[in-house]
A and B are shown apart, each in its own frame.
Chain A
Amino acid sequence: MAYTDKTRGMYEEILTGLKNAGLFKQERFIHSAQAADIEVEFPTGSSLKKVINICANNYLGMSSHPEVVKAAHAGLDSHGYGMSSVRFICGTQDIHRKLEQMVTEFLGTEDTILFPSCMDANAGVFEAVLTKDDVMISDRLVHASIIDGIRLCSAMHDTFKHSDMEHLEEKLQLHNDKRLKMVITDGVFSMDGDTAKLDKMVELCEKYDALLFMDDSHSSGFIGKTGRGTHEKYGVVGKIDIITTTLDKGLGGASGGCVSGRKEIVEMCRQKARPYLFSNTIAPPVVAGVIKVLEILSASTDRRDKLEKNTEFWRKGLIDAGLIIKAGDTPIVPVMLFNAKLAQDVSRDLYAEGIYAIGFFFPVVPQGQARIRTQISAGHEIHHLEKALDAFRKVGKKYDILGKTKQEIIDRYGM
């Protein structure tokens, strides 16, 4: 089919609609390595600006860690650049299996299979292990990639209210006639920074003979006393049947994901998960880098301990400044502004002050829940956080939101 003027016009109209609705996403070009201090070209064509990054998933500051970079270089030299094959033909190296074994040990599971990303892991796992005779019962705030995976699976799907254990129990009772029941949750919820009540969920899953699935992408490496994840925080290591997680956040920040859990389920993914079967796995230099990350994190908890201290400092600083944040103890700290335009204006003004933080609003978060999502890193030093707090205080004063209640902000700026 020719790409006609009519077709072009149709797409132009859609894109214009996104711009008019304030939903058009623009990339900002970073000219430096990912770190606490970065150099950014924004708007496109402008001169570079040095800013402090408080919106990366670089929780442990491993993205540009010299030992990780060095290990990736060595992996490139020893194992090459790419595999030019999917895993089961000729795309598996010794280091892929080594990494799977290391992740298994780190997470305290039975076995692990790597995927090109956690998005792919979530896209493949449900379809590989469930059928139309089964039911998936998911928290209503799970990540978009889980929702996509659920759509690809023939099992029945139902939801429970966010973190509402009574509602989950009602759903387990409602669907008790199904062959398999799988409860699905995030470990740490990426928009609010709260954690799933995993101890209660394990209890319910044992009571109703259900499988428990958790995406721990925003936890692996730093939640729990030794950073194993949300299951460590709640004392249920070994009791989560399926954990998916990513290697592109705390665990190095490059790329890749995995399914880790019961060995039969992992083997089902190896036999049937389509993103595993039909795409190359993680490139050798990245595998070598993640192996080094896990070695560093297994040898010492220094980085997750520093992240914990930084998070406490940041949360207290924002509260003392009079800003409203979502309660919790994770390094995802949403500063609530409620109004979409206000969130965009505050983000723009923070950038002018040298602080890179992004506004989130509907449809990424519910209507009237607009916010600046800040994310703290072990790569931040206290002087970074102090400067960012100064900027928040200055911009907050400009918009007269310091010390104000949610209702007072909504009354002034609307939802």
Chain B
Amino acid sequence: MDEMKEIIKAYVIKEYVEDDTEVTYDTPLISGGIVDSFSMVSLKRFLENKYSISIPDDKATPEAFDSVNKICVLVREFVKE
């Protein structure tokens, strides 16, 4: 799971951070203004492509996407072991 966290954190930094803002596994992404609600779609599509999953729209909420840790919890729900 640490690998998943690192992959997601690296994607978030590359995709959304344009200055030297530090992002940890618990940094609030949506409520902290790093990821706006419009841009969540690329994160959702990245996760779906990367982990071969489909995340229903009603599960892809701003709350569920609000930190790397929360995103990992969400992704784990859909990844087939």
Please give, as numbers and ranges, the residues of chain B lying within 8 Å of A147 by CB-CB distance.
38
Answer yes or no: A150 CB below 8 A from chain B CBs.
yes
Answer yes or no: A158 CB below 8 A from chain B CBs.
yes
A184 to chain B, nearest CB (A): 11
CB-based contact A157/B18 at 8 Å: no
CB-based contact B18/A159 at 8 Å: no
A60 to chain B, nearest CB (A): 34
CB-based contact B41/A158 at 8 Å: yes
* A400 CA / B13 CA spacing, docked (Å): 37
* A175 CA / B41 CA spacing, docked (Å): 10
Answer yes or no: B61 CB below 8 A from chain A CBs.
no
A177 to chain B, nearest CB (A): 10
- The range of chain A's interface size is 10 to 19
CB-based contact A157/B45 at 8 Å: no
Answer yes or no: B39 CB below 8 A from chain A CBs.
yes
Please give, as numbers and ranges, the residues of chain A lying within 8 Å of B46 by CB-CB distance.
174
Report how many residues on chain B are interfacial, defined by Cβ distance under 8 Å.
9
Please give, as numbers and ranges, the residues of chain B lying within 8 Å of A150 by CB-CB distance.
38
The closest CB in chain A to the CB of B46 belongs to A174
Given A174-B45, A175-B45, A158-B39 contact (CB < 8 Å): yes
Please give, as numbers and ranges, the residues of chain A lying within 8 Å of B18 by CB-CB distance.
161
Please give, as numbers and ranges, the residues of chain A lying within 8 Å of B42 by CB-CB distance.
158-159, 171, 174
Answer yes or no: A102 CB below 8 A from chain B CBs.
no
* A150 CA / B37 CA spacing, docked (Å): 12
* A168 CA / B38 CA spacing, docked (Å): 15
Contact with B along A169-180 (1 / 0, CB 8 A): 001001100000
A386 to chain B, nearest CB (A): 38
Please give, as numbers and ranges, the residues of chain A lying within 8 Å of B45 by CB-CB distance.
158, 174-175
CB-based contact A156/B41 at 8 Å: yes
Interface residues of A in 109-150 (CB under 8 A from B): 138, 140, 147, 150
* A158 CA / B38 CA spacing, docked (Å): 6
* A138 CA / B39 CA spacing, docked (Å): 10
Contact with A along B40-66 (1 / 0, CB 8 A): 011001100100000000000000000
For B39, B46, B49, the residue with the greatest tally of chain A CB atoms inside 10 Å of its CB is B39
Please give, as numbers and ranges, the residues of chain A lying within 8 Å of B49 by CB-CB distance.
174
* A175 CA / B45 CA spacing, docked (Å): 9
A378 to chain B, nearest CB (A): 35
Please give, as numbers and ranges, the residues of chain A lying within 8 Å of B38 by CB-CB distance.
138, 147, 150, 157-159
* A147 CA / B36 CA spacing, docked (Å): 12
Please give, as numbers and ranges, the residues of chain A lying within 8 Å of B39 by CB-CB distance.
140, 158-159
* A158 CA / B39 CA spacing, docked (Å): 5
The closest CB in chain B to the CB of A175 belongs to B45
* A382 CA / B36 CA spacing, docked (Å): 44
B47 to chain A, nearest CB (A): 12
A324 to chain B, nearest CB (A): 18
B79 to chain A, nearest CB (A): 20
Please give, as numbers and ranges, the residues of chain B lying within 8 Å of A174 by CB-CB distance.
42, 45-46, 49
* A147 CA / B38 CA spacing, docked (Å): 9
Please give, as numbers and ranges, the residues of chain A lying within 8 Å of B41 by CB-CB distance.
156-158
The closest CB in chain B to the CB of A368 belongs to B19
* A330 CA / B47 CA spacing, docked (Å): 40
Across chains A and B, which 3 residue pairs bring their CB atoms closest together, nearest first?
A158-B42, A158-B41, A159-B39
Can you list 8 pairs linking A and B with CB atoms under 8 Å apart?
A: A138-B38, A156-B41, A157-B41, A158-B38, A158-B39, A158-B41, A158-B42, A175-B45
Binding site for A on B (CB under 8 A): 18, 36, 38-39, 41-42, 45-46, 49
New A-B pairs, 20, CB < 8 Å, besides A138-B38, A140-B39, A174-B42? A147-B38, A150-B38, A156-B41, A157-B38, A157-B41, A158-B38, A158-B39, A158-B41, A158-B42, A158-B45, A159-B36, A159-B38, A159-B39, A159-B42, A161-B18, A171-B42, A174-B45, A174-B46, A174-B49, A175-B45
